[in-house]
Every structure is written in C-alpha cells, then in structure tokens.
C-alpha cells in the first residue's frame, strides 16, 4: 500500500552538559497526543473490514496479553511494532546495597516494577523514515539553572542533612536543571572526593548520599 509522505517539524535543542563537546541535538516537535478514541476512529475509517468495535476489542485483548506475559517474566515482541520488557526499581525510601553485600535485609517487598521498556522494531523505524518528511523549525534554548554549580552542590548537601539519599529527580527540582544535565552533573560531583557526595547503587537504582569521612 502506498504511503503518503508526511510533513513533520523538528528543532535544535541546546545541551548544557559539563565536560561534553556536543552543544545541541535534534528533537521532533510534538504537536499533540493521539488518544485511543482517535486511533480507533482512524483504524475504522482507513482499514477495510475492521470496525471500531473490533479494533477496540483487539487493543484491549493485546494490552491484557502483554501484561500477562510481562508478569510471568517474559519480554513480548509484536512483529512490525517492537519489543516490550520490564525494568525494576527500589520502592521509595529503600536503599540499594552493594553487589557483594549480604542481601538478607533486602527482599521482594523492597522492589517494584519501575517501568516498561519498549524497543521499536527495525521495520517500524524504516517505514517511519520512508513516510516522514522533516522540516526545520526554530532552535530551542534550555532553561538554565538560576544557581551556580557551587550553589547547586550546597543545595544537594543541605537536602541530605534531613534525607537519607538524593535522586536525580530531586536534584532537578532543587537546581532547575534538565534531566540529562542533572544526571551528568551528579555523576561528576560524586566522582570528585571533595564534593561530599557519593554514589550508591547501580543503573536505574543509583542514588546519591553524603560521603563518609
């Protein structure tokens, strides 16, 4: 079936990352979200023999099937769409132990599903690239933090005076930095012995605590 080329606007997003030479990256301008109701209308209007009710039933059944297999510890692949899999995280208030630490104090009640990852199928990316036509929009400048790096560090240390650990999300709220910038800066600060911060945990479970000594 022939697909019509679709015009989509993109723009250049400024990067404010310490220690990196890359100054910007490209992003698609997201106009709005297509909800299930509109998606069902599109399917019923453009597909031969697929009614709105049938499409809705398939979506519900597919969602329930994916949920079931994910809960059984499987990843789920839908040809032409992609693969779904789970990622785990600690529940709020729980700390990640070191890899070789005795885990008797850590049990399944401390862990939750933190997210569902989606990896698109190569054919989906290929087909989108064939159909889309990109048009450049205006560059976008990020909101910079109102605090200096030294002030941001002090705000983090002040927070740890009354809290057991600091997450990237909280650091963003304290400093006004973007997600990627906050993540990179916290890693750099924790790698500096003089900062007073230390990392704890790994990957998506990483948090930051007051350094000992």
Query: Is 96 exposed, middle or buried (CB count within 10 Å of its CB: 0-12, 13-18, 19+)?
Result: buried
User: Given a cut of 70, is residue 97 above it in pLDDT?
Assistant: no
Tell me which of 4-8, 47-51, 86-90, 93-97 is least confident.
93-97
Q: Predicted confidence band at 213 (pLDDT cuts at 50, 70, 90)?
A: low
State the Cα–Cα distance between residues 27 and 14, nearest whole angstrom: 10
- Average pLDDT on 181-199 reads 90
Q: Is the pLDDT of residue 179 over 50?
A: yes
Q: Which residue has the tokens 């976008």?
A: 140
User: What is the spatial distance between Cα 177 and Cα 60, in angstroms, rounded to a whole number?
Assistant: 39
Average confidence score pLDDT of the chain: 84
| Token pair in block for residue 211 | 């350094």
Residue ranges matching CATH 1.10.10.10 in the chain:
149-210
Task: Tell me what pLDDT residue 17 has.
Answer: 53
Q: pLDDT tens digits, residue range 113-143?
A: 989 999 999 999 999 999 999 988 776 555 5
Give the pLDDT band of residue 205 (cuts 50, 70, 90): confident
The pLDDT value given to residue 30:
76
Question: Could you tell me which residue, 31 or 20, shows the higher pLDDT?
Answer: 31
* Token code pair at residue 5: 């080329």
Cα–Cα distance for residue pair 71/148, rounded to 1 Å: 45
- Which of 9-13, 34-38, 43-47, 158-162 is least confident? 9-13
8-state DSSP, 133: E
pLDDT at 177 over 80: yes
Write down the pLDDT at residue 202. 75
Q: What is the pLDDT of residue 1?
A: 45
Record: fold of 149-210: Arc Repressor Mutant, subunit A (1.10.10)
Highest-confidence range of 23-27, 68-72, 206-210, by mean pLDDT?
A: 68-72
């Amino acid at each position: 079936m022939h697909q019509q080329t679709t015009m989509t606007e993109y723009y250049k997003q400024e990067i404010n990352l310490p220690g990196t030479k890359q100054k910007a990256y490209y992003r698609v301008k997201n106009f709005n979200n297509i909800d299930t109701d509109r998606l069902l209308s599109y399917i019923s209007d453009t597909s031969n023999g697929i009614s709105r009710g049938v499409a809705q039933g398939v979506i519900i059944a597919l969602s329930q099937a994916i949920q079931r297999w994910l809960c059984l510890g499987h990843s789920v692949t839908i040809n032409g769409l992609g693969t779904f899999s789970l990622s785990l995280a600690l529940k709020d208030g729980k700390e990640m132990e070191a890899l070789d630490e005795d885990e008797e104090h850590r049990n399944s009640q401390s862990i939750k599903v933190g997210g569902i990852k989606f990896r698109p199928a190569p054919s989906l990316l290929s087909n989108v690239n064939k159909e889309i036509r990109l048009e450049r929009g205006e560059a976008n400048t990020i909101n910079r933090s109102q605090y200096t790096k030294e002030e941001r560090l002090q705000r983090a240390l002040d927070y740890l005076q009354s809290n057991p650990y600091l997450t990237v999300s909280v650091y963003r709220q304290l400093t006004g930095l973007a997600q990627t910038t906050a993540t990179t800066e916290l890693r750099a600060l924790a790698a500096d012995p003089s900062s007073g911060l230390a990392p704890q945990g790994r990957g998506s479970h990483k948090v930051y605590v007051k350094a000992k000594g």
